[in-house]
Amino acid sequence: MIKKLFKRVFGKKNKVRSHGSATVIPFDVHNVGREGVMHSARRVTDGLQAAGFKAFVVGGAVRDLLLGRQPKDFDVATDATPEEVRRVFRRSRIIGRRFRLVHVMFGEETVETSTFRRMIEAEDAQTDEHGRLLRDNEFGDQEQDAARRDFTANALFYDPTTQEIFDYHHGYEDIRANTLRMIGDPEVRYREDPVRMLRAVRLSAKLGMKLDEATAAPIFKMKGLLANVPEARMFDEMLKLLLSGHSLECVTKLREMDLHHGMLPMLDVILEQPLGEKFVTLALKNTDQRIREDKSTNPAFLFACLLWHEVLAAWQVKQDAGEKPIGALHEAMDEVLDRQRAQLAIPRRYDTIMKEMWLLQPRFEQRGGQRPMRLLGVPRFRAAYDFLLLRCESGELDIELGQWWGEFQDASEDRRAEMLMPDMEPKKKRRRKKKIDLSEVQAELPIN
């Protein structure tokens, strides 16, 4: 056994070789060392191999390692069935009904382990009337598992034991040429799963890879197929895109390729207004920065940003019609959220935070009496303040307001007392005004 392992690790030639229809690329050529693989993923491949199975790190992780990037997660592919994987690792559980995967747990880390699967042949495939695959849950072999993947760069298998890469679709060359290329006929692959069009945009923007011409060409005429993708899946994909750390590039590219109607339908409206465009751009940049710095990001904050100028517009209309500011703001928020729910399927669980963010905004305008201190004590103060800064930076509000709050929150008691402005806020009744005058908005707003 040890002899066999020794031979596997050290006995390989350092030249590219063939294995069936795969090209096997040795460490000496690709230079990706096993130390780049997360420890838990190595334990999974080691454990499965020791039990006599094939096991590789696959997909995005291999691609990212070759590109010199830190992979987000390490997935493992194996010829062991989910039950067999379960038997090898005590701390594991089978998840998913459609295609069963195994989550193998090591402390905090979870390694998603999937059995090789194949694309179902055209004649047995269940598709909708547009050719979209409704299931793809047949087990297969390694070669078939490579073929069912989307891009050549995503279809590489890395064996941490031998440090070899198995490549069935020239993915290695494509990565070296910095090209994202669809496996097979792009039109057929987009029809099977239209989300691949969005993946093409997201991955090329995130990785700075160019889209191969034949891969990009059909997207324009096929983009309408995105309308058939279930809403929840679109939402998941949108989250991935917005939280990729490259949301600005992704959104820019989506617009270039005219794909944003399917994904972010509100974007057109918002970007038409100069302040809206600036605000959204700043919000995306800010999120990207936070993600790159490993800071927490709440998707609700970003959605609140994306929808803010719609809320502002609706709020204005209602006030112009003579409604009181706070009532109008509540109605505007509900109206915008309802409209977006139909298009974007933003789940309701995000509503509370988005509304808090919006409702706290007028309170920053009030700098007299006890109000600023009360606002500082609100649990979401920090996020609402970040939101305020974006509004200032985009030119919607005077930059001085953001600076004032920046100083006030860290100031000594004495300094705070100096900074407070005379409390001019009328306590109860107020006049109706035609234009939005944020300083007129009541101090105490309900948070939920």
- Residue numbers annotated as active site: 73, 75, 150
The β-bridge partners of 158 are 57, 165
Comparison of 64 and 356: residue with beta carbon closer to ligand ATP? 64
* Shortest Cβ 143–ligand ATP spacing (Å): 14
With CB atoms as reference, the residue minimizing the distance to Mg ion is 60
Cβ burial of 26 (10 Å; 0-12, 13-18, 19+) is: middle
**Residue 196 sits in the site that holds ligand ATP (CB under 6 A):** yes
With helix as H, strand as E and coil as C, how does the chain read?
A: CHHHHHHHHHCCCCCCEEECCEEEECHHHHCCCHHHCCHHHHHHHHHHHHCCCCEEEECHHHHHHHCCCCCCCCEEEECCCHHHHHHHCCCEEEECCCCCEEEEEECCEEEEEEECEECCCCCCCCECCCCCECCCCEECCHHHHHHCCCEHHHCEEEECCCCEEEECCCHHHHHHCCEECECCCHHHHHHHCCHHHHHHHHHHHHHCCEECHHHHCCHHHHHHHHHHCCHHHHHHHHHHHHCCCCHHHHHHHHHHCCCHHHHCCCHHHHHHCHHHHHHHHHHHHHHHHHHHCCCCCCHHHHHHHHHHHHHHHHHHHHHHCCCCHHHHHHHHHHHHHHHHHHHHCCCHHHHHHHHHHHHHHHHHHCCECCHHHHHHCCCCHHHHHHHHHHHHHCCCCCHHHHHHHHHHHHCCHHHHHHHCECCCCCCCCCCCCCCCCHHHCCCCCCCC
**From ligand ATP, Mg ion, none, which one binds at residue 237 (CB under 5 to 8 Å depending on kind)?**
none
**Residue 365 sits in the site that holds ligand ATP (CB under 6 A):** no
150, 351, 425, 440: residue in contact with ligand ATP (rule CB under 6 A): 150
Per CB under 6 A, the segment of 97-105, 149-157, 289-297, 380-388 that binds ligand ATP is 149-157
* Shortest Cβ 207–ligand ATP spacing (Å): 8
Per CB under 6 A, the segment of 13-21, 146-154, 331-339, 376-384 that binds ligand ATP is 146-154
Per CB under 6 A, the segment of 165-173, 190-198, 218-226, 264-272 that binds ligand ATP is 190-198
Per CB under 6 A, the segment of 194-202, 217-225, 382-390, 405-413 that binds ligand ATP is 194-202
* Shortest Cβ 122–Mg ion spacing (Å): 28
* Shortest Cβ 69–ligand ATP spacing (Å): 9
Stretch 99-138: interaction string toward ligand ATP, x if CB under 6 A: ----------------------------------------
* Shortest Cβ 72–Mg ion spacing (Å): 6
193, 323, 335, 365: residue in contact with ligand ATP (rule CB under 6 A): 193
With CB atoms as reference, the residue minimizing the distance to ligand ATP is 60
Stretch 221-260: interaction string toward ligand ATP, x if CB under 6 A: -------------------x--------------------
CA-to-CA distance for 9 and 161, rounded, in angstroms? 6
Per CB under 6 A, the segment of 195-203, 348-356, 394-402, 417-425 that binds ligand ATP is 195-203
Three-point CA angle 19, 21, 22, nearest 5°: 60
Comparison of 266 and 284: residue with beta carbon closer to ligand ATP? 284
Place of tokens 């679109």: 234
**Residue 149 sits in the site that holds ligand ATP (CB under 6 A):** yes
C-alpha dihedral, 241 to 245 to 247 to 249, nearest 10°: -120
Residues in the chain: 448
**Residue 167 sits in the site that holds ligand ATP (CB under 6 A):** no
Contact 302, 286 (CB under 8 A): no
Comparison of 195 and 332: residue with beta carbon closer to ligand ATP? 195
- Number of chain positions touching ligand ATP (CB under 6 A): 13
Q: Which residues bind Mg ion (CB under 5 A)?
A: 60
Report residue 56 as tokens. 């590789």
**Residue 154 sits in the site that holds ligand ATP (CB under 6 A):** yes
**From ligand ATP, Mg ion, none, which one binds at residue 145 (CB under 5 to 8 Å depending on kind)?**
none
Stretch 43-72: interaction string toward ligand ATP, x if CB under 6 A: ----------------xx-----------x
Comparison of 28 and 185: residue with beta carbon closer to ligand ATP? 185
* Shortest Cβ 240–ligand ATP spacing (Å): 6
What is the binding site for ligand ATP (CB under 6 A)? 59-60, 72, 75, 149-150, 154-155, 193, 195-196, 199, 240
